[in-house]
Amino acid sequence: MGYAPCFSVKDTAASIAFYEKLGFTVDSSGAKPGDDIHMLLHGGEFCGMLYSNADLKKWLPVLADTPIGFAGMHYLGVDDLQATHDLIAQHAEIVKPLAEHNGMRLFYFRDLDGYVIGVNEKAAAPAV
């Protein structure tokens, strides 16, 4: 079983540009005409989706009154933690600096819509 976070964002074009600066790639080829949803990849591996907040609330009306953002965090496992940190630190707010915690090196950044993403070495990815 897999887990695929879907980030509800204000402006998908701005979010795509933001994540591409951080070394992610975006694949919009699976979207049907008129859909504003995009696959987010890192190191060629799928790690989530970017979805227009307006479109998401149409798709799932139960979310109509839910603000953008997330009270929690998502994790991204990477092969080269230092290089990833150095790139992300140039373009995003680091909310918890690179440090070791319980034998795992990690850091956290915040994206344009307030989502907090923890980044750790792939071999030490937290159990889900």
- pLDDT, one tens digit per residue, over 60-107 is 887 888 888 766 678 899 999 999 999 999 999 999 999 998 888 999
Domains in the chain, start-ordered, CATH in brackets? Answer: 6-124 (3.10.180.10)
Q: How many Cβ atoms from other residues are within 10 Å of residue 115's Cβ?
A: 20
For residues 109 and 94, the answer to whether their CB atoms sit within 8 Å is yes
- Rounded to whole angstroms, how far apart are CA atoms 51 and 60? 12
Q: How many Cβ atoms from other residues are within 10 Å of residue 88's Cβ?
A: 22
Q: What is the pTM of this model?
A: 0.75
Tokens matching residue 46: 């799928």
- Rounded to whole angstroms, how far apart are CA atoms 111 and 95? 10
Mean pLDDT, rounded, of the chain: 87
